[in-house]
Amino acid sequence: MSFGPLQLCLLFSSALFCVGLMGALSRSNAILVLLGIELMLNAANINFIAFWRYGPEPSPATGVIFVIFAIAIAAAEAAVGLALVIAIYRHQRNIRLQEADTLKG
Amino acid sequence: MNLPVAQLWLIPALPLLAAGIGALTPRGGRRLAATVAIGALALSFLLSVGALITALADPAAHLVHNFDWFELGSGTLRLGWVLDPLTAFMAVMVTFVGLLIFIFSTGYLRADANFTRFFCFLSLFAAAMLGLVIANSLLLLFICWELVGLASYLLIGFWFHKPAAAAAAKKAFITTRIGDLGLLLGMVWLYDSTGSLLFFDGGAGVLEPAALDALAAQATIGGLAISTAIGLLIFCGAVGKSGQFPLHVWLPDAMEGPTPVSALIHAATMVAAGVFLVARVYPLMIADQPLAHVPVHALTVVAAVGAVTALLGAVIAIGQYDIKRILAFSTVSQLGYMMLALGVGSWVAAIFHLLTHAFFKALLFLAAGSVIDAAHHEQDLRHLGGLRGPMRITFATFAIGTMALAGVPFLFSGFWSKEGILHAAHGWDVSPLPLYAGLVAVVLTAFYMTRLVAEVFHGTARGEGAAHAKESPPTMTIPLLILAGCAIALGFLGTPAWPWLQARLEGRTEIHGHSLLEGGGLMALSILLVALGIGAGWALYGRRTRTRAAAVDPLAARIPRIFSALTDRLWFDELYAATVGRLSDGTARLADLLDRHVWDGTIRFLSGLGLFAGFVNRDADEDVLNGGFDAGSAGLRRGGQAYSRRQTGDAHGYLRVVAISFVVLVMVIMLGGGQ
């Protein structure tokens, strides 16, 4: 099994995804969870770029466009997420996710 | 000033309007209510005079104005009014006497809280009575007849907080209703036989020869001609309304109403409606006279009832102690006289007596009202006495009324009208009994009226009220004076020497008078009888007057048993209570038992069946249908609860599930060979 640039990129993005996932699962601070989620998102973006650059058939800038869209949407999503965090903070005077369980069944 | 027949409706319409205004007047508007009622009746009086002038221009004619009321299937129901001397004289009498009594009432009821209501009812009564008088249709007459009964009920029960007044009102209404049923049946039969209820309709009316011949020609049950049967049924209504035996019991009780009501309704006008009705349908009543084969003529029954009533009322009046009750029984007796006159074939004598009686009886009642008012509502003559001094005008007018009623000769109207009736009875060839009854009643009438005057006005005051009595205000004495003048003057319109009134009523323009000496024997006899009655009364009550209220009546001391029977009104009320009353009680009880056990049992059984069916139905519903749905929805609810328990609200938990699922998914794909 040889390691070309594509495989290295995929290993890196997998590592980044796992770091993000662990961060999101293990932290109770909502902001840190959001950070973890951003890491996972960016791991996906790296995959887009890698497959575009080193993929079997180099094509027009499809992957780059995807990533730009994803970054723009991620920015909006981060704004919404932070606004939610602020709302939760106002409501319960902290941002511990374990305690934000008002919507449980 | 003529009143054309088409405008005759104005006469009852004005008081009706006044009644409407009176009904809307608030309690405080006493002056308004009285002014409107009196003003409307005064206008009606003027119109009635106009109508009389029109009628007298051609006394033989029956001027009519008929119109369609509504269509009913193929027939049309028609109403109308008629103007002839009978109508016109009655209308003038009702409006004039009514007007004086209205004025008297403003004084008599000056302290009553329901003054406006009283005038509303009085106007309603006047409207109904005038409508009755002008009606040219038996149906319209019947409608007004019932309205008159209603007004009478309302006014007898005017002081309805007194249990006696409320009971008397009910008694009057129910008793007259018995007679009215006869009138209604007669009316229906008449419509069935002739197809019309109009009295005069240019040859097609029921009182015109064509219809009368047809009615008299057909026989019905018992060999009676149809006209006889219908006439007797209509006479039933007159018996009820005019207080004839055996339905006379309501009239004395009607004295529970205010005295002006007794004067207007239960003496002068309404009770005379029965006499008027018989006089109005007189052609129908005499239609069977030429028939020899009928077992009994309608008029024979009328004469018999009238004679019995005339005698009965006069006898009972002797034993009464209440001023108004004595006058009431005297009214019963005088109405009997009128019926007697109708029965023996002289309806003009009856109407003449009706007119004179209306004036002097209204006078007597109003004077009695003046006494009662002055003596603080004391009506028992044992507690009155000695009022001659303090109440001079009342005494003088009451005495004039008494002499008119007793038939004191020559000067007073009652004498002339009573003579007319006695002469008519004398000329009746069927039986002399009505004449004898009339002559005996003459003695009795003079006797009890003398007793009344002696007890009330002579001697000394025997009660608190009588001791402090003062003369009544002018609103009460002026009507008395006017009525007293009429009680004298009216007689001269119908003396045998110059029978103007009788001639006009019969539709003749020329007057056939005759000398007073013709038939003078009977007149001398009746004068003798009047003198006998007054003399006996004065000997018993006037020479030595009652000194204490508790003293025994002189007549009661002589014939105690008979007198107490008279005081108890010959037990007619008790008799009716024991027979008719008990029968109706028994029927009611039977109906109650039937209701309770038979009908109620059936209904209960049926409802039990219904309940059982419902029970079965409900069980089926609940166990089968509802059970299935309940189980289904319980399952859904349990499922939902299980799902919702998974929704912990823990974001990490969700994320964990997503991550583990992702790992599992990746492993499945990789182990599956990456295809």
| Nearest by Cα to B364 from B466, B437, B445 | B445
What confidence category does residue A97 fall into, taking pLDDT thresholds of 50, 70 and 90? Answer: confident
Would you say residue A11 lies in a domain?
Answer: yes
Would you say residue A69 lies in a domain?
Answer: yes
What pLDDT, on a 0 to 100 scale, did the predictor assign at position B635? 92
Would you say residue A28 lies in a domain?
Answer: yes
* Higher per-residue pLDDT: B384 or B368: B368
What confidence category does residue B636 fall into, taking pLDDT thresholds of 50, 70 and 90? Answer: very high
Would you say residue A47 lies in a domain?
Answer: yes
Task: Determine the Cα angle at B566 with ends B561 and B571, to 5°.
Answer: 100
A80 touches chain B (CB under 8 A): no
Kindly determine whether residue B647 and residue A103, on different chains, have CB atoms separated by under 8 Å. Answer: yes
Q: Is the pLDDT of residue A95 over 80?
A: yes
Would you say residue A37 lies in a domain?
Answer: yes
What pLDDT, on a 0 to 100 scale, did the predictor assign at position B184? 92
What pLDDT, on a 0 to 100 scale, did the predictor assign at position B526? 85
Q: Measure the CA–CA gap between B66 and B447, rounded to whole angstroms.
A: 49
Q: How far is B615 from chain A (nearest CA, A)?
A: 42
Q: Which residues lie below 8 Å from residue B623, measured CB to CB, with a gap of 6+?
A: none
Mean pLDDT of B287-308: 81
- Tell me: the pLDDT tens digits for A2-20? 778 888 999 999 999 999 9
Of B94-108, B249-263, B372-386, the poorest mean pLDDT is in: B372-386
What pLDDT, on a 0 to 100 scale, did the predictor assign at position B638? 93
Dig out the tokens for B250 from the structure.
């309501």
Would you say residue A48 lies in a domain?
Answer: yes
Q: Measure the CA–CA gap between B528 and B533, rounded to whole angstroms.
A: 9
ipTM of the complex: 0.81
User: Residue B439 in contact with residue B422, Cβ under 8 Å?
Assistant: yes
Of B109-113, B227-231, B356-360, the poorest mean pLDDT is in: B109-113
Would you say residue A104 lies in a domain?
Answer: no
Closest CB from B646, B655, B656 relative to A105: B646
Q: Is the pLDDT of residue B674 over 60?
A: no
Q: How far is A65 from chain B (nearest CA, A)?
A: 26
* Higher per-residue pLDDT: B539 or B45: B45
Q: Measure the CA–CA gap between B67 and B224, rounded to whole angstroms.
A: 33
**By CA distance, what is A26's nearest residue in B?**
B652
Q: Is the pLDDT of residue B675 over 60?
A: no
* Higher per-residue pLDDT: B245 or B40: B40
Q: How far is B654 from chain A (nearest CA, A)?
A: 10
What pLDDT, on a 0 to 100 scale, did the predictor assign at position A20? 92
Q: How far is B645 from chain A (nearest CA, A)?
A: 5
A1 touches chain B (CB under 8 A): no
Which CATH number is A17's domain given? 1.10.287.3510
B643 touches chain A (CB under 8 A): yes
User: How many domains in chain A?
Assistant: 1
- Tell me: the pLDDT tens digits for A27-66? 888 899 999 999 999 999 999 888 888 877 766 778 888 8
B674 touches chain A (CB under 8 A): no
- Tell me: the pLDDT tens digits for A66-89? 899 999 999 999 999 999 999 989
What pLDDT, on a 0 to 100 scale, did the predictor assign at position B517? 66
Q: How far is the CA of B424 from the CAs of B190, B339, B343, B345, B530, in angstroms?
A: 29, 12, 10, 7, 19
- Tell me: the pLDDT tens digits for B261-290? 888 887 778 888 889 999 888 888 888 777
Closest CB from A24, A33, A102 relative to B649: A102
Would you say residue A63 lies in a domain?
Answer: yes
Phi, psi (deg, nearest 5) at residue B495: -70, 155
Q: Which residues lie below 8 Å from residue B443, measured CB to CB, with a gap of 6+?
A: B529, B530, B532, B533, B536
What pLDDT, on a 0 to 100 scale, did the predictor assign at position B432? 84
The range of the structural domain enclosing residue A74 comes to: 5-99
**By CA distance, what is A29's nearest residue in B?**
B652
What confidence category does residue B581 fall into, taking pLDDT thresholds of 50, 70 and 90? Answer: confident
Chain A interface disruption, residue of B637, B638, B641, B650, most A CBs within 10 A: B650
A78 touches chain B (CB under 8 A): no
